[in-house]
Chain A
Amino acid sequence: LAKTTQPISMDSYEGQEVNITCSHNNIATNDYITWYQQFPSQGPRFIIQGYKTKVTNEVASLFIPADRKSSTLSLPRVSLSDTAVYYCLVGDPPQAGTALIFGKGTTLSVSS
């Protein structure tokens, strides 16, 4: 998996849009970009995945520029319940025997 760099922490207020950027300069041609969310004392949960341009689902949007060396997870109008750690993972959809390797992640704190 490609090495990723993301901010250690971010603070926001309810109702604001939050953008978390992940750098992955060594991304390979076959690599996808995937974001997971982890609440305290819970396992990670898949949020969104993309390869290029923009992907949107009911939870978030993922923006990927043409060079794919970075990506931005966008959370619209966050609420207190969005307080969590967000992990950016980059890699080729691996074979069944390959584990996901997590970096440090970004701790998002949402206040009222």
Chain B
Amino acid sequence: GAVVSQHPSWVICKSGTSVKIECRSLDFQATTMFWYRQFPKQSLMLMATSNEGSKATYEQGVEKDKFLINHASLTLSTLTVTSAHPEDSSFYICSARNGGSFNYGYTFGSGTRLTVV
């Protein structure tokens, strides 16, 4: 079945540094990928829609200059958290649609736990 690989699974960084998270579709091409953020005991919150070869679309309230998204190929999207601060500590999850019309065809990565110290 469709697999989305997300890396790293966890990362600790110092305040003020940048962190890159990768999301790869392993066995299908994804022209569109989605990035979510999830705080403890809360639901997934959509941050942005990543489009291959074009600029990402950010949800209201999400700083595009802080959360840089690059979707340079049909199988890879990256999220870079720039100048990270402790309040950016969260669980980040990517998702891609594998083209199936049934079950919506969405596959999720395993998530990245970011801790900013």
- Seen from chain A, the residues whose Cβ lies within 8 Å of a Cβ on chain B are 32, 34, 41-46, 49, 87, 89, 91, 93-94, 96-97, 99-105
Interface size on B, residues (CB 8 A): 29
Point out which of A42, A99, A102 has the most chain B C-beta atoms below 10 A from its C-beta.
A99
Report whether A93 and B43 are in contact in the complex, using a CB–CB cutoff of 8 Å. no
- Seen from chain B, the residues whose Cβ lies within 8 Å of a Cβ on chain A are 4, 6, 31-32, 34, 36, 43-44, 46, 49, 51, 91, 93-95, 97, 99, 101-111, 113
Nearest Cβ in chain A — how far from B23, in angstroms? 10
**Known contacts A87-B43, A99-B34, A102-B43, A41 near B102 by CB under 8 Å:** no
Report whether A96 and B108 are in contact in the complex, using a CB–CB cutoff of 8 Å. no
Report whether B111 and A46 are in contact in the complex, using a CB–CB cutoff of 8 Å. no
Report whether B43 and A96 are in contact in the complex, using a CB–CB cutoff of 8 Å. no
Residue of B at shortest CB range from A34?
A: B104
Give the number of A-B contacts (CB < 8 Å): 58
Q: What DSSP secondary structure best describes chain A's contact surface? A: loop
Which residues of A lie under 8 Å from residue B106 when comparing CB positions?
46, 100
Report whether A102 and B103 are in contact in the complex, using a CB–CB cutoff of 8 Å. no
Which residues of A lie under 8 Å from residue B93 when comparing CB positions?
43-44
**Known contacts A41-B111, A45-B108, A87-B43, A100 near B101 by CB under 8 Å:** no
**Known contacts A49-B102, A49-B103, A101 near B91 by CB under 8 Å:** no
